[in-house]
Amino acid sequence: MSQLAAQMLKSIEIREVKSLLSHEQVISYNLKRLKEVMLNIGHLVDPLIIDGKTGVVLDGNHRLKVLEIIECPNATCQVVDYMSDEIKVGTWYPALELSPEEIFSLDSLKYEKTDFNAGKAAVDSLKAPFMLVTKKQCYLINPGNYKLMEMVEEQNYILSLLEKNSVDYIPEEELDNFVKLGQSVFYRRAYAKKEIIKAAQAHTPFPPKSTRHLIPGRIIRINMKLGWLHRSPEEAKAELDRTLTNRVYGGSVRKYYEPVIVIY
């Protein structure tokens, strides 16, 4: 067996869906669309990425929810050591094409002008749930003194006010570009790994797209048949191992050593 095949088979497991823990809420529209796609093609395309020790889903919360809805008992999972220094945690920033005046008029939101660095420090120390970053000015939204879950509740409330608008979730690297284009971007604090695990175990999920996990060696396009996942875990794993081994030796698996752009 090739080294690549051995590495893949070692890291991919079949886990019971009921044993997995979600740490953030889903977006209703994305969930509906993903459910339709999964049922139409009959596959779980990408494996869930989970912490091997706790079963917390790091990537694939929408896929997990679909499996729960269709009562699929098992899931294909790429198992990782979440506490590894190689795995980094960030967040996604909500961004939309509303002016500050339009955002502040949505409800009785309090705001306070700030500069970017001071506002960032305030949000990171739980002094505000968001900092609104625009081309001309930054604002702390509903500033105060929060405990972690109080901040989560406040973020949920503010995001609920925005849900009728088209909201993009962007990575930190794109913040400046979106602001220059006239977008209003909501900077928020990234969570620590221990906070994420605690929230999942307590069944108190964070708002949608709260976490962005950077995981080296991410495996995609497993294309596990949903029918196999309805079998026993042992039978499902046997089918998975056979399929992956054939794909490796058939030249259908490639490991990239540089950033890539995937066109679906």
CATH number at residue 135: 3.30.1760.10
Q: Please report the pLDDT score of residue 261 as a whole number.
A: 65
CATH number at residue 11: 3.90.1530.10
Same domain, 114 and 158: yes
Same domain, 83 and 153: no
Q: What is the mean pLDDT of residues 226-254?
A: 86
Which of the residue ranges 64-73, 95-104, 159-168 would you say has the lowest mean pLDDT? 159-168
Same domain, 126 and 39: no
Instruction: Judge whether 232 lies within some domain.
Output: yes
pLDDT digits (tens, 9 = 90+) for 153-179: 999 999 999 988 889 999 999 999 999
Same domain, 69 and 104: no
**86: Cβ contacts below 8 Å, ≥ 6 apart:** 216
Number of domains the chain is built from: 2
Evaluate whether 56 touches 23 at the Cβ level (below 8 Å).
yes
* Structure-token match 């191992």, residue found: 241
Same domain, 99 and 155: yes
Same domain, 102 and 182: yes
* Boundaries of domain holding 237: 3-87+209-249
Same domain, 73 and 131: no
> Residue 37 has which token pair?
């796609």
- The residue from 155, 189, 223 where one domain ends is 189
Whether the per-residue pLDDT at 149 is higher than 90: the answer is yes
